[in-house]
Every structure is written in structure tokens, then in C-alpha cells.
Amino acid sequence: MKVVDFGIAKLLDDPPEAEGVTKRGSLIGTPEYMAPERLLGREYDHRSDIYSLGVLLYFMLSATMPFEHDKPPGMIEMVQFHLTRKPRPLEELTRPNVPPSVTAIAMRALSSEPASRPSLRDIAATLLAPV
């Protein structure tokens, strides 16, 4: 079993009795937290999890989601949000005592380009750094 999308469990090898349940390779998760490459059905790796962590950090620091919308978006709208919109800068939404390095790393984690996202090591170092 593998935990994906911060709480959804997925069997890596479907047992024979799994007929009628979600199949391997299906898109499972909460679109608001999914990286653009996942939403598009492209290859993904650990950097997709960095993106999801970036969404979580953004919400924790601002009490808002990076891509706000009036009604629950469909999958196509979520793809468009993640690929074409930039989240409102966290510096405008957080308390003044939040270090700029923390808001900067959260924003980098939300990059639509996986190669531009920080490593988990960099995120941890930033979050654990003395203020």
C-alpha cells in the first residue's frame, strides 16, 4: 500500500477480488492539491508531492487556497488554474512575523514546472531555521 494525496491509500498491486474498484493508474485525489502534471495525466514523481506540500503550506500560512474559485471547479478548470494563474503573493496574506524565506519556499513549491520546485531537504531546512 502507498499513501498518496495526504490521506488517500492506494493498493500498489490490485488483488484479484478488486473487481469493480478503482483501478491502477486512475486519477485519485483532491484536485486543489494536485500538481499540474498529475492533473494532465503526465508522468510524475516526488516533485508532485512537493507541489501538494506547497498548497498545504500556502493554506497554513494564509488561511486561503492558492487558487480561489467561486464554485467547486471541474478538472479542466483546476488544470487551467494550476497552469495559467499565479497565486496571490503570500507576503500580502501572512502575518508580518512570518520570515520571507518561508513564504518564498512555499511559493517556489507551487511552481508549475517540477524542475523549479525546491527539494524537501530545502523546505525542511527553511522551516526549521532559527528566526
CATH number among 3.30.70.100, 2.60.40.10, 2.60.40.3880, 1.10.510.10, domain 31-128: 1.10.510.10
pLDDT at 123: 97
DSSP string, 22-74: PPTT---S-GGGS-HHHHTT----HHHHHHHHHHHHHHHHHSS-SS--SS---
Please state the pTM of the whole predicted model: 0.75
Handedness of CA 77, 6, 28, 71 (dihedral sign): negative
pLDDT per position as a tens digit, 78-99: 677 777 778 889 999 988 899 9
pLDDT per position as a tens digit, 47-76: 999 999 999 999 999 999 888 766 665 666
pLDDT winner (highest mean) among 13-22, 28-37, 70-79: 28-37
pLDDT at 54: 96
